[in-house]
């Protein structure tokens, strides 16, 4: 094979590494080695060590109905998803994913046994090199997830939940998990926290030492000292004390699960630990949500490059190249908005289009590209430019920075404005000179998780009096929460907090309270 690589300029000289659809573990190994050569030498990717696991269709269903993780605690919602997915799979409504990849070190890629040899090649290039490179290098994953420990943590979580179920009953565990799942989207810290107190056990320890201190310094004599009537000054002091207490709670707090775990007055330690498990998983998945399009784009770009190189070097047959191209084009298909098949913007399509476009701009820029991207147009270093983009951006900023007029034109993007009480939506920008920046800005906003998710914070927790917890939803553009969902979620929250819970929906501009909702825990 080495000779084939040396004769890079004379294409189609190598001997194909496999023919036909059949494969065995030796084929898989050869395929992996060849893909690795291209990935590391030609594309200069930087990846975690790889682990490829071959699984059956049923195992694939299993895996991706439990959030795609190889280990997961048990919960009915995963069973529900499994029932749903397996039904639509059996009816032939949906085909299964060909692969599944886990952001861990070593990076585990699952490939299905049904895949043909070509598919396995594509999948290894896609997952074991594309996704793997992205996981290892993107700043969000670096900052927020710990690839070395996630599998151990999941194993711990699974055992812990099982233990709790045995000790406290499946129902009691379910109440906590259901509630925590409902608040999962509010279980994310968008900014790193200083690690003060991590484990419930530590908190219990601190509480205990505080109590011991109080007991040691308690002197009954003070009870007999007559109290001065509360003066204006004293009231002020009390208010200051309350404010200080609030300071201790770190309000306002956007991570509702974090707050509950640390401060909910009625929870037991095991319940806090369960909330913590859900919170940590929510946090682990947050980067994936913010980089879905880039991640898929990166993987698709990588498999496309690798498959083409393999073909150029004669390492795969024309038949498999055609099969690979067929797979590739169905993955990156983007139906128009008025097509029956339309289901939102396909992250594979947009990501791949943008990255191919970046390559083009680096290598053969037009005048327009030079105008728009003076930094890298024509720099000749496509891989370098792409790699720094993969490392330092997320979907929102990537679009804002790199979406070119060419892609906007190719995909025929147009922006619309919708007022809920108007019967029609209005077109506000299309793919023309006036519209490019507008379309790009709006599309970027659509990929901004912090804009798409409601902005809900805990703003008040009255720990000394009524123990009422107050949340504030800052309403932008008049978009209130969906009432029915909100009532039920609030009920879950009240269940965890243990006392009355209030949600205020306050308009971001005027500061006016638009709606107030309350919930009490059920006995």
Q: How far apart are CA 260 and CA 266, in angstroms?
A: 10
By DSSP bridging, strand 455-461 and strand 107-112 are unpaired
Taking the complex as a whole, the smallest distance from the CB of residue 413 to another protein amounts, in Å, to 5
Please say which residue, 226 or 423, places its beta carbon nearer to another protein.
423
Taking the complex as a whole, the smallest distance from the CB of residue 207 to another protein amounts, in Å, to 30
Please say which residue, 102 or 362, places its beta carbon nearer to another protein.
102
Please say which residue, 74 or 142, places its beta carbon nearer to another protein.
74
Please say which residue, 197 or 482, places its beta carbon nearer to another protein.
482
Tallying the residues shown for the chain, one arrives at 523
Among 18, 32, 134, 436, binds another protein (CB under 8 A): 32
Write out the binding residues for another protein, residues 78-107 only, by CB under 8 A. 78-80, 82-84, 86-87, 106
Taking the complex as a whole, the smallest distance from the CB of residue 268 to another protein amounts, in Å, to 22
Q: How far apart are CA 117 and CA 28, in angstroms?
A: 8
CA atoms within a 13 Å half-sphere pointing along the CA-CB vector of 183: 34
| Phi-psi category of residue 312: left, alpha or beta, with phi > 0 → left and psi -120 to 50 → alpha | alpha
Farthest CA pair distance, the chain: 100
Taking the complex as a whole, the smallest distance from the CB of residue 469 to another protein amounts, in Å, to 14
Q: How far apart are CA 62 and CA 101, in angstroms?
A: 14
Q: How many residues bind another protein (CB under 8 A)?
A: 98
* 477 is a site residue for another protein (CB under 8 A): yes
Going residue by residue from 36 to 55, which x/- string records binding to another protein, judged by CB under 8 A? x------------xxxxxxx
What is the chain's alpha carbon radius of gyration, rounded to the nearest angstrom?
28
Taking the complex as a whole, the smallest distance from the CB of residue 91 to another protein amounts, in Å, to 9
* 115 is a site residue for another protein (CB under 8 A): no
- What phi and psi, each to the nearest 5 degrees, are found at residue 237? -60, -40
Taking the complex as a whole, the smallest distance from the CB of residue 417 to another protein amounts, in Å, to 5
Q: Which stretch binds another protein (CB under 8 A): 182-190, 263-271, 309-317, 362-370?
A: 182-190
Please say which residue, 58 or 363, places its beta carbon nearer to another protein.
58
Write out the binding residues for another protein, residues 132-171 only, by CB under 8 A. 170
Please say which residue, 247 or 424, places its beta carbon nearer to another protein.
424
At 108, list the tokens.
């585990």
* 246 is a site residue for another protein (CB under 8 A): no
* 209 is a site residue for another protein (CB under 8 A): no
Taking the complex as a whole, the smallest distance from the CB of residue 346 to another protein amounts, in Å, to 9
Please say which residue, 101 or 429, places its beta carbon nearer to another protein.
429
- What phi and psi, each to the nearest 5 degrees, are found at residue 65? -95, -5
**Omega before 347 cis (within 30°)?**
no
Taking the complex as a whole, the smallest distance from the CB of residue 77 to another protein amounts, in Å, to 6
Q: Which stretch binds another protein (CB under 8 A): 137-145, 293-301, 370-378, 478-486?
A: 478-486
Among 152, 166, 318, 426, binds another protein (CB under 8 A): 426
Taking the complex as a whole, the smallest distance from the CB of residue 379 to another protein amounts, in Å, to 29
Q: Running DSSP on this structure, what letter comes out for residue 322?
A: H
Report the interhelical angle of 483-497 vs 256-263 (nearest 10°): 20
At 463, list the tokens.
């720990």
Please say which residue, 25 or 218, places its beta carbon nearer to another protein.
25
User: Please, what sign has the CA dihedral across residues 379, 380, 386, 388?
Assistant: negative
Please say which residue, 74 or 359, places its beta carbon nearer to another protein.
74
Going residue by residue from 438 to 457, which x/- string records binding to another protein, judged by CB under 8 A? -x--xx-xx-----x-x-x-
- CA distance between the termini of the chain: 71
Residue pair 425/417 in contact by the 8 Å Cβ criterion: yes
At 421, list the tokens.
């009480």
Write out the binding residues for another protein, residues 294-353 only, by CB under 8 A. 334-339, 342-345
Taking the complex as a whole, the smallest distance from the CB of residue 194 to another protein amounts, in Å, to 27
Please say which residue, 238 or 514, places its beta carbon nearer to another protein.
514
Q: How far apart are CA 88 and CA 84, in angstroms?
A: 6
**How far out from the chain centre does Cα 95 lie?**
23
Please say which residue, 129 or 373, places its beta carbon nearer to another protein.
129
Please say which residue, 34 or 312, places its beta carbon nearer to another protein.
34
Taking the complex as a whole, the smallest distance from the CB of residue 152 to another protein amounts, in Å, to 18
**Which residue, 473, 478, 475, is CA-closest to 504?**
473
Residue pair 293/447 in contact by the 8 Å Cβ criterion: yes
* 233 is a site residue for another protein (CB under 8 A): no
Write out the binding residues for another protein, residues 404-423 only, by CB under 8 A. 411-420, 423
| Three-state SS at 458 | strand
Among 16, 480, 500, 518, binds another protein (CB under 8 A): 480
**How far out from the chain centre does Cα 467 lie?**
33
Long-range contacts of 441-445 (CB under 8 A, 24+ apart): 441/400, 442/415, 443/399, 443/403, 443/413, 443/415, 444/396, 444/397, 444/399, 444/400, 444/403, 445/396
Taking the complex as a whole, the smallest distance from the CB of residue 134 to another protein amounts, in Å, to 18
């Amino acid at each position: 094979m080495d000779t084939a690589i040396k004769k890079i300029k004379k294409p189609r000289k190598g001997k194909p590494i496999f023919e036909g659809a059949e494969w065995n573990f030796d084929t898989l190994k050869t395929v992996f080695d060849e893909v690795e050569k291209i990935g590391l030498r030609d594309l200069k990717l930087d990846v975690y060590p790889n682990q490829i696991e071959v699984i059956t269709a049923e195992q694939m269903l299993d895996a991706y109905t439990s959030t795609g993780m190889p280990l997961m605690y048990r919960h009915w919602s995963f069973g529900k998803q499994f029932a749903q997915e397996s039904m639509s799979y059996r009816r032939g409504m949906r085909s299964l994913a060909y692969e599944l990849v886990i952001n861990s070190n070593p990076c585990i890629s699952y490939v299905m046994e049904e895949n043909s040899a070509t598919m396995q090649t594509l999948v290894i290039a896609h997952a074991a090199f594309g996704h793997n490179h992205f996981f290892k290098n993107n700043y969000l994953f670096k900052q927020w997830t710990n690839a070395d420990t996630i599998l151990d943590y999941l194993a711990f979580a699974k055992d812990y939940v099982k233990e709790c179920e045995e000790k406290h009953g499946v129902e009691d565990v379910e109440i906590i998990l259901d509630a925590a799942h409902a608040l999962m989207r509010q279980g994310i810290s968008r900014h790193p926290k200083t690690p003060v107190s991590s484990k419930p056990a530590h908190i219990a320890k601190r509480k205990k030492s505080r109590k011991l201190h109080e007991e040691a310094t308690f002197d009954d004599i003070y009870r007999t000292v007559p109290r001065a009537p509360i003066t204006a000054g004293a009231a002020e002091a009390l208010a200051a004390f309350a404010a200080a207490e609030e300071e201790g709670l770190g309000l306002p707090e956007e991570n509702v699960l974090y707050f509950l775990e640390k401060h909910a007055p009625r929870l037991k330690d095991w319940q806090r630990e369960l909330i913590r498990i859900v919170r940590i998983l929510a946090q682990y998945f947050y980067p994936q949500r913010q980089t879905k399009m880039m991640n898929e784009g990166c993987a698709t770009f990588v498999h496309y490059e690798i498959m083409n190189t393999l073909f150029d070097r004669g390492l795969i047959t024309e038949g498999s190249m055609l099969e690979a191209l067929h797979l590739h084009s169905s993955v990156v298909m983007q139906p128009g908005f008025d097509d029956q098949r339309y289901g939102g913007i396909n992250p594979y399509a947009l990501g791949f289009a943008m990255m191919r476009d970046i390559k083009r701009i680096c290598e053969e820029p037009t005048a327009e590209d030079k105008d728009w991207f003076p930094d890298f147009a024509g720099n000749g270093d496509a891989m370098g430019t792409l790699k720094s983009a993969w490392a330092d951006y997320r979907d929102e900023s990537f679009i804002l920075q790199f979406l070119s007029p060419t892609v906007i034109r190719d995909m025929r993007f147009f922006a619309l404005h919708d007022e809920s009480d108007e019967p029609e939506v209005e077109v506000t920008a299309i793919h023309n000179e006036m519209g490019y920046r507008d379309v790009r800005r709006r599309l970027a906003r659509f990929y901004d998780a912090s804009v798409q998710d409601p902005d809900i914070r805990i703003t008040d927790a009255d720990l000394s009096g009524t123990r009422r917890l107050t949340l504030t939803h800052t309403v932008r553009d008049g978009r209130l929460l969906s009432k029915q969902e909100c009532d039920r979620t609030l009920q879950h929250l009240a269940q965890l907090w243990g006392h009355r819970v209030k949600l205020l929906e306050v308009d971001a501009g005027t500061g006016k309270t638009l709606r107030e909702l309350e919930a009490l825990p059920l006995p």
